[in-house]
Amino acid sequence: QAQLVESGGGLVQAGGSLRLSCAASGRTASTLRMGWFRQVPGKEREFVATITWNTGLTYYADSVKGRFTISRDNAKNTLYLQINSLKPEDTAVYYCAASSRPPTMATLKTDRGFESWGQGTQVTVSS
């Protein structure tokens, strides 16, 4: 499995921007796709975005489409999430994840099939 380390979270005012990073190391050669998820205490983990590692195809949750951009730098084994126009409801711990399994239409926007997870980075948006 890959080891994943997120960074870039913090406290930001509503309307601001952040760029989260996720550095991957270890067994990354089999990675087919990576994703970002977020979780608020007491709620289920929520899908945010995913990207296929080789082709760069991207998919987003409807709630973040147009404000969030997922990207990757294959040479650096790093995943990014650019977050613009932040809202207080974006406050959460953001996790990156990696999968060596091809998704299905049923699993594409879920956390199913992701074997490796980072420790998370806190994003707090003040109103």
| CA proximity to 73, closest of 21, 2, 6 | 21
Cα 36 from Cα 15, distance rounded (Å): 20
Which residues have CB under 8 Å from 23's CB, separation 6+? 4, 5, 7, 76, 77, 78
Residue the block writes with tokens 């294959």: 74
Residue 1: pLDDT above 90? no
Buried b (16+ CB within 10 A) or exposed e, 101-110: eebeeeeebe
Q: Is 69 exposed, middle or buried (0-12, 13-18, 19+ CB in 10 A)?
A: middle
Q: Which of 36, 23, 21, 19 is nearest to 86 (CA)?
A: 19
Structure tokens at 74: 């294959």
Would you say how long the chain is, in residues?
127
CA distance 74 to 87: 30
Q: Is the pLDDT of residue 29 over 90?
A: no
According to the model, what pLDDT value does residue 28 have?
Answer: 85
Tell me: the pLDDT tens digits for 52-92? 999 999 999 999 999 999 999 999 999 999 999 999 999 99
Q: Which position has the token pair 């997870």?
A: 117
